[in-house]
Amino acid sequence: MDHPFNYLFHILTIFVGGSLLFLIGFFPVSRNLTVGNDYGNSTLSLLDKTLPEPSFKHERVILMLIDAWRWDFANQTNMPYSYGSACNHINIKVNVPTVTMPRLKSITTGTVSNFIDIVLNLGHTEKLADSILHRTRAKGKNIVFSGDRTWVQLFPELFLRQKPNIDSFFVNDFYEGDKNITANVREELSLKDWHLMILHYLGLDHIGHVEGSHSNKIFEKLHEMDDVIKYIATSSEFKNTVLLVTGDHGMRNGGSHGGSDKEELHVPLMLFSDKCTKRNCTIDYNQIDMTPTLAVLLGVDIPFSSVGCLISEFIEDLSKEEQLYYYYKNALHLIEKFRRKYSLSQIKAQGYSDYYFWLTEAEMEHKHFLESNFTSFLSYEKAKKNYIRLSKNISKLLSDSSVKYDNDLIFISLVLTTTTAVHLITKVLFGTKDNFNKKWQQFSSGRLFLSIVAGLAINCIAHFLEFIYSRHFIYSAVLTVPIAISIYLAIEICLLVVQILIPMSYDRKCYFKLTIPWMLFAFFIFHTFSLVSSSLIEEEHQTWYYLTPTIMIYLTAQNVYYGIRKMWKLENNLVILASELWQMRYVIVAMLAIVFCRRLNQTGDKWRHLEDIGDILSREHNQHYLLIAFVCALIFLLWSLKKYNTPLQMVTCSIALVCVFLYREWSKSSATVVLLVFWLSVCVTAFVRYRNIFWKPKHYGYGVKSNLVDLLGSNLTISLLISALLHKPHNVVLLPALLLCLESSYYLCDNLHLYNRKLYNRCYVLVYKAVMTIFLGNMFYFFQGNSNSLSTIDINPGYIGLSSYNPFVVGAMITFNTYCAPINAFLYLVWHMFVTQKSSLPLRQEKEQVSNAQLLESTEEDLYLVISLFTATTVMPVAVYWLLLMGFRYHLFIYSVFAPKAFYECFRILVFYLNFIVTNLYFRLFQ
């Protein structure tokens, strides 16, 4: 069995590596955040190059960020002082992804952050080389900071004083971190040695993640923030100071963020000053527009990478001369970036010549205004209008074209993943009569040598013809590896095609070795190509909600049909009918469970606003119903675990589930002790089975298989117990419901085999079980409330039992909770394959007169068939999606719909890869 699973391991490793290469090429880390040359005055300018800089500047600027502060939170009820006293109150639109780190980059650099920043936000954060903070320090001005430590990671050496929140990612901290920031504000206001103070409050965001956007604590936190703003703006030290208050991103209904809902994309921006005329407006600006505006307020140069334009309302208190100067500088900065990006031929071909006309006209009117001794109001208006029009158009153009794809990596990774997926599919589907299926995993050193030589040649020719951009030698050498692997796999695919079309002999002719049910094939193709539609990606749960129950109903109908035929052929019809109906009781319960679980959590975009069971049970007056449902779900889960565990293990499982109940319902002060008992119970549950392997005499033959069955059952039990701890109380019922649906679907498949072995042979049943496992795992994944939007990721499970932020533990717990349905479904499938063979061994030995060795080999073949088909069915849609994503790279919804789905697909294949490795390791160690 080593060879087949070695092949699957290697092919999965190659595919995972190719997928990661694709993401690196499709979402490269931004390259436009490096230091560049200051442009100064453009050679296009008709104005005097010695145009004097206005003397206007504020002594100090305070930038206050309220994390997850969305537009509708800033109203008269929630924040009365801020709403009534702000000089300006405008709407800011942020870009996707709506998470902190890319949003900070947009505010400080004026660039549209790349989507890969969603990954950097959770761990390592790169240092920025140029920003509004760098420009401030270059002018000799000091900066102080307090709040989210992401700022310190982005700007590690720029602050005169810094007091970061060490546990910024610790979402259970609602108040302590914010109180420390406010205390620091009181100290800093009295000091005179700083020019820019940055405050980043996190409490509002944490409350949203833990308790949702409608929690009473949300409104308490908004009042607290209003009091902080009032304290700063009314302080005696606020003279000649500007306070800007905004949010890095919004908060969707439910409390999370990361997606593209309007509640996440719109945040308020308020300006407070002792020298302003109060005016409110509803004009929309982009978040990147804050960068040049901050540069004006601070009296510093605009960062090199900025593509934002000025917020007009924030400089209207300046003189007309000063306003035109800053409009002119911003327009000159953008036109120079535009000229460097586009050649003259591109400008003419794409109709951008008007930009130069607008600039020339604006400069002429600007010059006339200056020559009129600042009295020509008409010239001022014309110059201002053309500067703003020019800036907004170029800003939008540069923002939309800021995506830089690494086409070399994308093309190579697409070839690698496609050939890998096709190779896997062909090997799973085709076989030969001379038992060739046991030989095609063999490694061919000659073919590998030929592939390496061909890969080197292709790489060199591509670089010579400039098809591949030459960065450095190591990069070129590394590219040879995926090229050579792709060639090796392509050669094998070609040889297989030749063997199908022109076989060397009859025995070596390839044929379909799997019986693929037409319904499964049609549904699989439908789901794969449904990924072409952005709407079907947003509402993918509807696809699984339709396909999976349809297959189960189809299987049930087939069973009923053959049951009726059996009843009419035999005597005692009523007895047989009653027996068949009694056997189908679990199928009926499973169908009812699917209907109930469907209503637990609304997901997707179209119906997410509708009320679901989770919303109803979360209300305060329904807490007793939630308690009853929680207890029933735990009892149901405990009852489901009895088939995998000994009586001693059932005791420890009972203790663990009691701890889950106590953790959710008792005071958090006792949480540490409860969780300690829980983890001890889980460890004892595992120890009971592992003790039999390591401390008892070793067995051989069937005894080893029995040990493996016990260990697989124990691992499934541990996975379910941990899932129960991480799940929200109303979602715990999903765990036993998943087991019930899997068991029912497997029963229906086995029953068909018993009714008609010729039509529904062993291969047919195994294919149905593998595909049904995938379908049920995906359906329950969406039952949990997940979607293809990053905003639905539940981060609370990552912090259960933690007193501080640990990125590895948090990441592992969030991932496990998110993908627990596919993980548990796969573990159940593997356990079921072994336990089914184990139960049939004595009967098959008696009837078929086969040896233990033959039975073990049969089990291994069945298991390999199921896992290889499971792997192919998991890999193929991802490979197709990479091709679709490349085709849709300029789609309107590429960042709001297709890009988040890409991260989900990559994570899904990574989770399966790790699950496969662990399972394969057990086969090697314990069989």
Say what the pTM is. Answer: 0.78
Predicted local distance difference test score (pLDDT) of residue 844:
46
Distance from C-alpha of 678 to C-alpha of 182, rounded to nearest angstrom:
38
Model confidence at 155: pLDDT above 70: yes
- All residues at 6 or more sequence positions from 599 whose CB lies less than 8 Å from its CB, including other chains: 612, 613
Q: Count CA atoms within 13 Å of residue 701 on its CB side.
A: 7
Instruction: Label residue 628 exposed, middle or buried (CB < 10 Å: 0-12, 13-18, 19+).
Output: exposed
Where residue 188 falls (left for φ over 0; alpha for ψ -120 to 50; beta otherwise) is alpha
Measure the N-to-C terminal CA separation of the chain; round to a whole number of Å: 10
Distance from C-alpha of 802 to C-alpha of 793, rounded to nearest angstrom:
19
Q: Which long-range contacts (CB under 8 A, 24 or more apart) does 518-527 make?
A: 519/551, 519/554, 520/551, 520/767, 520/768, 520/771, 523/547, 523/550, 523/551, 523/775, 524/771, 524/873, 527/877
pLDDT in tens, 58-111: 679 999 999 989 988 988 999 999 988 888 889 999 887 788 888 888 899 888
Beta strands, E only, 724-848: none
DSSP state of 129: S
In the structure encoding, which two tokens stand for residue 660, read together?
């889950």
* More confident position, 909 or 349: 909
Give CA separation, 20 vs 408, 415, 871, in Å: 14, 13, 18
Place of tokens 């699917």: 594
As a whole-number percent, the residues of the chain with pLDDT over 70 amount to 78
pLDDT band for position 36 (cuts 50, 70, 90): very low
For the ranges 259-273, 318-332, 506-520, the lowest mean pLDDT is seen at 506-520
pLDDT in tens, 750-800: 888 887 777 777 788 888 899 999 999 999 999 998 888 877 888 788 888
pLDDT in tens, 648-663: 999 999 999 999 999 8
Q: Read off the pLDDT of each residue in 42-52 and give the average, rounded to a whole number.
A: 51
- All residues at 6 or more sequence positions from 160 whose CB lies less than 8 Å from its CB, including other chains: 142, 143, 144, 193, 194
In the structure encoding, which two tokens stand for residue 157, read together?
């050496």
| b/e 575-596 (16+ beta carbons within 10 angstroms → b) | ebeeebeeebebbeebbebbee
Do 819 and 911 form a contact (C-beta atoms < 8 A)? Answer: yes
Do 295 and 132 form a contact (C-beta atoms < 8 A)? Answer: yes
Do 814 and 806 form a contact (C-beta atoms < 8 A)? Answer: no
DSSP state of 792: G
CA angle 821, 827, 829 (to 5 degrees): 100
Do 645 and 685 form a contact (C-beta atoms < 8 A)? Answer: yes
- The amino acid present at 641, given as its one-letter code, is L
For the ranges 131-135, 852-856, 868-872, the lowest mean pLDDT is seen at 852-856
Q: Which residues pair with 268 in a beta bridge?
A: 91
Model confidence at 7: pLDDT above 80: yes
Q: Is 91 helix (H, G, I), strand (E, B) or coil?
A: strand
Torsion of CA 634, 635, 636, 642, to 10 degrees: 110
For the ranges 15-24, 163-172, 590-599, the lowest mean pLDDT is seen at 163-172
pLDDT in tens, 728-750: 888 999 999 999 999 999 988 88
CA angle 347, 350, 353 (to 5 degrees): 45
pLDDT in tens, 701-712: 444 455 778 888
Cβ atoms within 10 Å, residue 536: 17
Distance from C-alpha of 820 to C-alpha of 780, rounded to nearest angstrom:
9
